[in-house]
């Protein structure tokens, strides 16, 4: 596993983009009998993603090497791709796994974009995100990777909006607007299992910041839990500030095995 980059602000992966179809294609052909570096070497040497150049294939391999641990905690993501799981349901899970160590993307989604959403912002521009990045630079405990020029800052700001658009949270090109986003049920259940591995308390699961990445507040999460409870897909009991949640599987990995069966 790579060293954690959970507090590193990097421009490289943001500028390279979401790489959703490329990541799906690479993981579909992933060979667990080989090391991560051997698998990524195949991406570079064989251009298995159908890239327009060997340089692009090399950049994709570099981004995936930074973002994921396919034989470790990101293995369920790979297994779902190998099983040919629907990409629209796979995309939210991809985003969740990406943001575990990609600090800037997570902070942008959880704090800035979600904040704009609940404030009722109509149009989002690159210039708005530049202001966010400038303010972020004043925070303590964050490590910046390299010195950013004004051009780089603008490219990162544009890249963050493009990433949110690729994952269906926003729509538009020049001026981005919030999309009518709905998290697929299977994706919601996977995230629920994954969050429960970090938070054993039901109320903390409902209040987890991870849901903000999908523009969901605790009320939205609880509404979905009650719906799934009604259809007997889980057990959720709530009374005031007290809540109890029983999930059908012990982990996200176990849920993945059922999905891939």
Span 169-210, pLDDT tens digits:
999 987 899 999 999 999 999 999 999 999 989 999 999 999
Confidence class of residue 1 from pLDDT cuts 50, 70 and 90?
very low
Region 20-31: what's the mean pLDDT? Answer: 95
Stated pTM of the model: 0.93
What distance in Å separates the CA atoms of residue 54 and residue 45, rounded to the nearest whole number? 8
Q: Considering the chain, what is the average pLDDT of its residues?
A: 92
Distance CA 48, CA 40 (A): 10
Q: Are 180 and 77 in contact (CB under 8 A)?
A: no
Domains, the chain, ordered by start? 1-181 (1.10.3540.10), 185-260 (1.10.10)
Where is average pLDDT lowest: 1-5, 207-211, 226-230?
Answer: 1-5
How many Cβ atoms are within 10 Å of 177's Cβ, its own excluded?
12
Average pLDDT over residues 160-177: 94
* Residue corresponding to tokens 């607007």: 177
- Using pLDDT thresholds of 50, 70 and 90, give the confidence band for residue 6: low
Using DSSP bridges, classify how beta strands 8-9 and 143-144 pair: parallel, antiparallel or unpaired.
parallel
């Amino acid at each position: 596993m790579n060293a954690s980059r959970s507090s590193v602000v990097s421009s490289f992966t943001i500028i390279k983009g979401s790489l959703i179809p490329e990541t799906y294609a690479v993981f579909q052909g992933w060979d667990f009998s080989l090391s991560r570096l051997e698998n990524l070497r195949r991406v570079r040497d064989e251009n298995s993603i159908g890239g327009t150049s060997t340089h692009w294939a090399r950049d994709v391999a570099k981004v995936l090497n930074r973002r994921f641990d396919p034989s470790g905690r990101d293995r369920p993501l790979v297994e779902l791709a190998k099983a040919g799981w629907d990409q629209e349901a796979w995309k939210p899970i991809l985003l969740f796994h990406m943001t575990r160590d990609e600090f800037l993307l997570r902070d942008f989604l959880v704090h800035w974009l979600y904040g704009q959403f609940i404030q009722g912002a109509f149009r989002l521009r690159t210039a708005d995100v530049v202001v966010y990045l400038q303010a972020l630079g004043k925070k303590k405990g964050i490590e910046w990777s390299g010195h950013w020029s004004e051009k780089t800052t603008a490219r990162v700001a544009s890249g963050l909006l493009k990433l949110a658009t690729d994952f269906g949270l926003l729509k538009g090109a020049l001026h981005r607007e919030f999309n009518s986003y709905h998290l697929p049920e299977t994706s919601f259940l996977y995230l629920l299992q994954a969050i429960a591995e970090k938070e054993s308390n039901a109320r903390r699961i409902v209040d987890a910041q991870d849901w903000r990445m999908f523009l969901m507040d605790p009320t939205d999460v609880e509404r979905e839990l009650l719906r799934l409870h009604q259809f007997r897909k889980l057990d959720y009991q709530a009374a005031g500030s007290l809540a109890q949640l029983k999930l059908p599987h012990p982990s996200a990995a176990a849920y993945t095995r059922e999905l891939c069966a």
